């Protein structure tokens, strides 16, 4: 659980240090801008930026019931972040599973990717797709 927060906390700490240096150096405007920039980066790389994560078993159950894809992801993954940003509001229509919180989810991803934990891995109708294009994924979402 703690490793999901390492990158966001590191970004926030770096932002605070850079901002403090700029503020004490006589550049308060630049200090505020850098603090806001690092806070935004920390927020985007945190689990808070992604829709609520559920367990792998629950995601499979829900996907079987409603036909929505399951996205296996992990915090700090730039490809997961890219997918989340490009999906926009439609990201909430997917079932998100954090592989760092669920060992079963990590096993599913390893089985789909020759033993590697390559994310995002999207499962649609039982078939895994590694790092698919967000537009392709959006086109395969069931009607709202």
Q: What is the pLDDT of residues 41-55, one digit of tens each?
A: 888 777 777 778 899
More confident residue, 144 or 34: 34
pLDDT at residue 48 in the model? 74
Out of 25-34, 43-52, 86-95, 128-137, pick the least confident. 43-52
Residue reference for tokens 């806070």: 39
C-alpha span between 85 and 82 (Å, rounded): 5
Tell me the C-alpha distance between 13 and 18, whole Å: 9
ω into residue 120 within 30 of 0, thus cis?
Answer: yes
Phi, psi (degrees; rounded to nearest 5) at 27:
-125, 70
117 C-beta neighbours (distance < 10 Å), count: 17
Q: What is the DSSP letter of 118?
A: -
Question: How many CA atoms are closer than 13 Å to the CA of 105, on its beta-carbon side?
Answer: 27
Confidence of residue 6 (pLDDT cuts 50, 70, 90): confident
Mean per-residue pLDDT for 107-134? 95
């Amino acid at each position: 659980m703690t490793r999901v927060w390492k990158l966001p906390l590191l970004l926030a700490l770096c932002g605070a240090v850079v901002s403090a240096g700029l503020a004490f150096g006589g550049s308060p405007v630049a200090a505020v801008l850098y603090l806001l920039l690092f806070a935004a980066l920390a927020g985007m790389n945190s689990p808070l930026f992604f829709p609520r994560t559920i367990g792998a078993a629950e995601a499979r159950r829900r996907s079987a019931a409603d036909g929505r894809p399951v996205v296996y992801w992990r915090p700090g993954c730039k490809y997961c972040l890219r997918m989340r940003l490009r999906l926009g509001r439609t990201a909430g229509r997917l079932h998100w599973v954090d592989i760092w919180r669920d060992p079963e989810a990590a096993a599913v991803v390893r089985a789909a990717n020759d033993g590697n934990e390559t994310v995002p891995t999207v499962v649609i109708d039982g078939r895994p797709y590694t790092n698919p294009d967000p537009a392709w994924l959006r086109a395969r979402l069931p009607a709202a």
